Amino acid sequence: MGALPKQKISRHRQGNRRRHHYITAPSVVRCRNCRGMKRSHHVCPSCGTYRGRQVIEIEEARRPGQ
């Protein structure tokens, strides 16, 4: 036989336990170079710069048929 609860857990205690079970939105800032949105402390996905330096080369989007 498995373990069984001795008493009912009240809604308040249950809520206190689940207080930290939430999803936080990522911190998003504007890129200094291209003014696009990027996550802080990450390379900008649109221009490829990090702290003013070009870190990765970004290929420009091409339309099909060109």
Specify the pTM: 0.59
Q: How many helices (H) and strands (E) does the chain have?
A: 1, 4
Kindly give the confidence (pLDDT) of every residue in the chain, 66 residues in length, as a single tens digit, with 9 standing for 90 and above. 789 999 999 999 999 999 999 999 999 999 999 999 999 999 999 999 999 899 998 887 555 665
Strand-pair partners of 30: 37
Euclidean distance between CA atoms 50 and 46, whole angstroms: 11
**Domain ranges across the chain:** 24-66
Q: State residue 63's pLDDT score.
A: 57
Name, in order, each residue with C-beta under 8 angstroms of 34's C-beta and a sequence gap of 6 or more: 44, 46, 47, 49
pLDDT at 43: 95
Place of tokens 């802080």: 40
